Structure 1
């Protein structure tokens, strides 16, 4: 099969304003776009941008705290439960307007020495809440592991740990956002991880390693990655969450070759 690709417009087309990136993605052969925090653009405006460009919006995140302060999620913090619940309602409303069926619930950043069992319990409880609310609208919750090399002290640092959280919730509409770059950066065997968690994978992110640039710039064999994903029955999009080595469009030769 030929996979379709989603442009992560937080990384790609950064040479232009956010609103213009939707059309740029469509012009360059992407079937969809994604961005963890689209809230600066009104949902109705985003819906119109997507319709005009003829692309879908793949997934985005619940509000994840103060990015400038290094926050990447609030799900593990008991004193922010109400903030988390408000973010769920806001995200569902936005998702319904633009037709998104996957929402990313980030856990948070916390040094190992400060972690307590209560942080895990809080995250699982919050995930159950998010899944229950989202499920009423046909929306799934996704969890992504982020490598310590790229996001130091992120609470969920391996796909195994992410799946442990998924299973702890017992919710049918929670799945894995498998990031190939983070998996490789952690030193894990990509093929083994795909096969081990194939039934849980709802979305996939790609970037080469080392460097986190375009596929083909590093050491990951993406032809093999795609072959294994096809073997296990993954039929979703591949989200391109990489940092262009230079101008985004100048580095899209790999995509043109895939689409040829």
Structure 2
């Protein structure tokens, strides 16, 4: 039977606890893995020990994304920050290797349309290719995630089509797509059609309902259809649970058993 292991995004889930405790909480709740874009506050040996104790793996994280307090969401597009990107790349890949992460997100950055030049695109593609070449000997894939204008205004890569353009332009085999179902719906796109259109590139998937970005099953997305479509394209990864709990995290976890059972049935009608 087809089922998809679930990865708890602990930047959204279990935030009532300090970061180290979120890992144990995810394991206790039945998740198969965790993810968080910025793990660096916890030294890699300590993170590896936390994961071993919880018997979890770490799905994906990002290179450093600049100054979050200033609204930065990546630096990959900025030509004057190439050296900073290169330093962050070494740190990120070393950390990933130390804790067994195989997917690393190289965020593009925020820049209003009016300020965008060809050099920003060229810089991002160059940085993706550089990151991929450095990651390949470690067995690591670099991922690109489109983020909708609704959630992240002025993010440079706002749609799956644009992400696919960047991936193809980087022209390295270990660059792939992180497809977020919420962002896809928020961009006004058909989720099923988008999964099928970009099937060869998808390396990781995020789930949250739309609208609202709460627990799967809380709004309008058809997660049975999403599961059937992912199964049909041969997706073999995890589903990253990057949603905003409507209340306390544990109080909203009933969807896991309900939808796990439903997804298994939906993806195996016979």
TM over 0.5: yes
Question: Pairwise mapping of residues 207-246 of structure 1 onto structure 2 (< 5 A)?
Answer: 207-246=208-247
| TM-superposed deviation, 1:259 | 4.5
Partner residue in 2 for 1:130: 131
| TM-superposed deviation, 1:120 | 0.2
Partner residue in 2 for 1:154: 155
Rounded to whole Å, the distance in 2 between the matches of 1:67 and 1:103 is 18
Partner residue in 1 for 2:71: 70
Partner residue in 1 for 2:100: 99
| TM-superposed deviation, 1:2 | 1.0
Partner residue in 1 for 2:8: 7
Q: Secondary structure at the match of 1:45?
A: helix
Rounded to whole Å, the distance in 2 between the matches of 1:230 and 1:11 is 26
In the TM superposition, what whole-angstrom CA distance separates every residue of 1:195-245 from its partner, at most 9, and x where no partner exists?
Answer: 011010000001001110000111000111011000000010000000000
Q: How many residues align?
A: 260
CA RMSD of the aligned region, Å? Answer: 0.7
Q: Secondary structure at the match of 1:93?
A: helix
Q: Secondary structure at the match of 1:136?
A: helix
Partner residue in 1 for 2:53: 52
| TM-superposed deviation, 1:136 | 1.4
Q: Secondary structure at the match of 2:179?
A: strand
| TM-superposed deviation, 1:257 | 2.1
Rounded to whole Å, the distance in 2 between the matches of 1:28 and 1:224 is 25
Partner residue in 2 for 1:41: 42
| TM-superposed deviation, 1:115 | 0.2
In the TM superposition, what whole-angstrom CA distance separates every residue of 1:1-56 from its partner, at most 9, and x where no partner exists?
Answer: 01110000000000110000000000101000000000000100000000000110
Question: Pairwise mapping of residues 155-170 of structure 1 onto structure 2 (< 5 A)?
Answer: 155-170=156-171
Rounded to whole Å, the distance in 1 between the matches of 2:25 and 2:224 is 25
Q: Secondary structure at the match of 1:175?
A: strand
Rounded to whole Å, the distance in 1 between the matches of 2:70 and 2:223 is 34
Question: Pairwise mapping of residues 108-119 of structure 1 onto structure 2 (< 5 A)?
Answer: 108-119=109-120
The unaligned stretches of length 5 or more in structure 1 are none
Partner residue in 1 for 2:144: 143
The TM-score with structure 2 as length reference comes to 0.95
Give yes or no for the alignment of 1:201 onto 2:202. Answer: yes
Q: Secondary structure at the match of 2:246?
A: coil
In the TM superposition, what whole-angstrom CA distance separates every residue of 1:65-85 from its partner, at most 9, and x where no partner exists?
Answer: 001110000000000000000
